[in-house]
Amino acid sequence: MTHTKCTDPVVLEQWHPLISDRELADLGEFRTTLLERPLTIKHGARGIATVTADGPGASPKVLQQYGYVWASFGQDPNSLFPFPEFEEPDRRFVPTGVFGVNVSAGRAVENFLDMGHFPYVHTGILGEEPHTEVKEYDVEVSETRDEVVATRCRFYQPKAALASDEGADVEYTYRVPHPNCALLYKSSPADPSRRDVIYLFLQPMGEEWVRAHTGMCILDEDNTDESIRYFQQVIFGQDKPILENQHPKRLPLDPRAETPIRADKTAIAYRRWLSQKGLTYGVISVAA
């Protein structure tokens, strides 16, 4: 009864998102599952959150950062990745919702990194035929920061953001600074010299069931939180059936397991990076 079903030390040592501070403040108390362990989160005095394991077993460590409550079952979890845009005072921080998805965290991250599906899944918004080409872009694994970074990703988008008036070539940068978290930087319609940030933080409830926390840190003084949230929910709702029909639901790390194309460079780097970390939870490891 007292053991965690997940025994992968790589995952256990990570911080995992549970709920946004705002949602917890509204609810006061929330029950959820992390790595197959039921937890109760309580909103305390001055916004301090407490997280306790339901039933026997040690309660996790707690961190409140970037607008979320995070938890870890690790002995000495590393500090969370840098996200400096979160601190910029003129940005709007809008958590756009959390959705349950029947898929592994790795599959969800990869979908977030993929531009090739835009014209077919997000037709008329993030892409449209005949603009289907994924142009050459750069990928590196930053050794100093231990993250996968894809730059110079360009794509024609009919409606890149709620604040967009017309179609435009949009430039993306992707960061994967955590096995289950990814950030997307894209040209801001409000200020071309700066970039909006969209994040996807995944909370693995099990190996094939996640809570997907989505949100934005953006420059937009015109649209309401509700309409920004709605725009993002429409996009996520389109991704959901695609994600849930992935087979297998866990992410195969063997480079021979699935056949990538050149547009999948980021995904290839991501899988290799996970392999090198020795991750086993939610993935199909390379056979020894």
Partner 1 sequence: MKLYDYELSGNCYKIRLMLSILRVGYETQTIDFYPGAEHKSDWFLEINPLGQLPVIEDEGRVLRDAQAILTYLAVKHDNSSQWYPASEPARLGEVAQWLAFADGITGTASAARLHDGLFYDLDVEAARKGAHRLFRILDEHLWFAEQQGQDWICSGDHPTIADIACFPYVALSEEGGISRQDYPAIRRWMDRVKRIRGFVGMSGVFPASPAADGSAQTAA
* Residues in touch with partner 1 (CB under 8 A): 23, 32, 97-102, 211, 226-227, 229-230, 233-238, 240-241, 244-245
Q: Least distance from C-beta 38 to partner 1, angstroms?
A: 13
Between 197 and 228, name the residue whose CB sits nearer to partner 1: 228
Residue 238 in tokens: 């389109």
| Residue 176 CB, nearest approach to partner 1 (Å) | 24
Contact 267, 275 (CB under 8 A): no
Among residues 140, 165, 148, 180, which one has the least CA distance to residue 281? 180
> Under a CB-based contact definition with an 8 Å cutoff, are residues 39 and 31 in contact?
yes
- Residue 28: phi, psi to the nearest 5? 80, -45
Question: What gap in Å lies between CA 212 and CA 227, rounded to an integer?
Answer: 19
Which residue's CB is nearer to partner 1, number 66 or number 137?
A: 66
Quote the CA–CA distance of 149 and 207 in Å, as a whole number: 25
Q: CA 95, 101, 107, 108: dihedral to nearest 10 degrees?
A: -10
Nearer to partner 1, 43 or 195 (CB): 43
Given the complex with partner 1, which of 121 and 268 has the nearer CB atom?
A: 121
Output 104 or 280, the one with its CB closest to partner 1.
104
CB of residue 97 to partner 1, shortest distance in Å? 6
- To partner 1, the closest distance from the beta carbon of 28 in angstroms equals 14
Q: How far is the CB of 253 from partner 1 (least distance, A)?
A: 26
Q: Output 185 or 209, the one with its CB closest to partner 1.
A: 209
Q: How many residues does the chain have?
A: 288
Q: Which residues contact 40 (CB under 8 A, 6 or more apart)?
A: 29, 30, 31, 51, 52, 54
How distant, in Å, are the alpha carbons of 159, 250, 275 from that of 220? 15, 37, 38
DSSP element (H, E) containing 29: strand 29-34
Q: How far is the CB of 98 from partner 1 (least distance, A)?
A: 8
